[in-house]
Amino acid sequence: MSLRTPLAQVRGHGSARQGAHHWWMQRITAVMLIPLFIGFVGTMVALATGGYAETAAFIRSPIAAGALLVLVVTIFYHAALGLQVVIEDYTSADKCHACTIVTMRFIMFLLAAISVVAVIKVAVGG
């Protein structure tokens, strides 16, 4: 048992200096997702009556494929940032806390990579 106050115990340790960067990245990706998602929904509405061939032909356009890749990567990065905050704030800080974050990041990276490969495969005509 210590006679030091909680403030005295943490004073001098400094900050992890990750909070501001994490906060800014969440805001930047959220702002990026607004026009990307609106464009995606508009495109899907326009392509709803067509079949796979029409949608694939649209994705073969370099601009459409590039925008779709940016959308996919941004969605998964934004989701990973948000899930990290949930894990840090709402789970107990035990020894498996870090492994939960690493596992979540790995799963998000894996899903993003699968999505990117799928978009590229359609874009090149595979």
pLDDT tens sequence across 25-73: 999 999 999 999 999 999 999 999 989 999 999 999 999 999 999 999 9
All structural domains of the chain: 18-123 (1.20.1300.10)
Share of the chain above pLDDT 70, in %: 88
- Predicted local distance difference test score (pLDDT) of residue 13: 61
> Is the pLDDT at 17 greater than 70, yes or no?
no
pLDDT on residue 20: 86
| Helical H segments across the chain, by residue range | 6-10, 19-46, 52-59, 62-90, 97-123
